[in-house]
A = this chain, B = another copy of it.
Amino acid sequence: MKIKLASSYGFCYGVKRAIKIAEEHPGSATYGPLIHNKDEIDRLKSSFDIGLVESFGEAEQVDSIVIRTHGIPKNELKMLKAEGKEIINATCPYVTTPQQIVERMSREGYSIVVFGDRNHPEIKGVVSYAEDPRDAFVVLEESELESLPLKSKVAVVAQTTRKPADFLEIVNALVLRAKEVRVFNTICNATFENQDAAAELAKEADMMIVIGGKHSSNTKQLHSICKNYCEESYLIENENELDPAWFEGKELCGISAGASTPDWVVQNVIARIREIEEVTRALRSE
């Protein structure tokens, strides 16, 4: 049986980069979890002595702080620097961009609209870069725009993980209202790349294995996309959930993984599938 990985799966560019940066700084602590995967956090702790602090107060107690992909609010960064901390900045470059845009547009006198979830760490960071907090507004729905005291010049950015179609709704409402709308499409297509690659692979595979958290919404969506094209699509968290019966008579097994699934988990799954194949072959030849 052939095993084929989706052309894009698992960690996005920014998370891979952040983990690499953390590994290069043993003994530091990440401010917030680097990834929503306990196994990977444990691995970083045991192999690289990377700690985890969950609040600003805790962050002030450590010497070397890794800023995760989401970034942090500007004033927190400033305070940590003022306190002489070593800052290891692993903010995703796709998140640094909207931070810089908000800072620049705010300086140039634009009202700022940030399309995203005001409670998400990425957005808390991005919006904090406005020179005057009264110039920046976070919205999730077009209807929220109505009551905003926007100037005639508006700049708009999006949370990196939003859907482009939803962003366009906000943009359209602004274009009909303001004289100038400066639209920065800061949406990252990593999520969609994994989804598109999984769909392509599911079309040709006899079966699909999707590896990721059973409660992870992005993993569940990957699984649902795979099922749409390939009836025999299974969602597993790790290699222990593999069932030898799944592979009987199959020619091509496709594999994808959620955005929080480390590659070593994927490799463990592949290794176990090969073991299952060998055991099955041995049993058959007995």
Contact = CB atoms under 8 A, between A and B. Distances in A.
Contact of A167 (B164, B175, B179): B175
Contacts of A167: 175
A176 B166 CA distance: 12
A59 to B, nearest CB: 33
Contacts of A164: 175-176
A183 interface: yes
Interface string A164-203: 1001100110011011111111000000000000000000
Chain copies in the assembly? 2
Contacts of A182: 180-183
Interface residues of A, number: 15
Contacts of A184: 179-180
Contacts of A175: 164, 167-168, 171, 183, 185
11 contacts: A164-B176, A168-B175, A171-B172, A171-B175, A175-B183, A179-B184, A179-B185, A180-B183, A181-B183, A182-B182, A183-B183
Given A168-B172, A171-B171, A171-B172, 12 more contacts: A164-B176, A171-B175, A172-B172, A176-B185, A179-B184, A180-B183, A180-B185, A181-B182, A181-B183, A181-B185, A182-B182, A182-B183
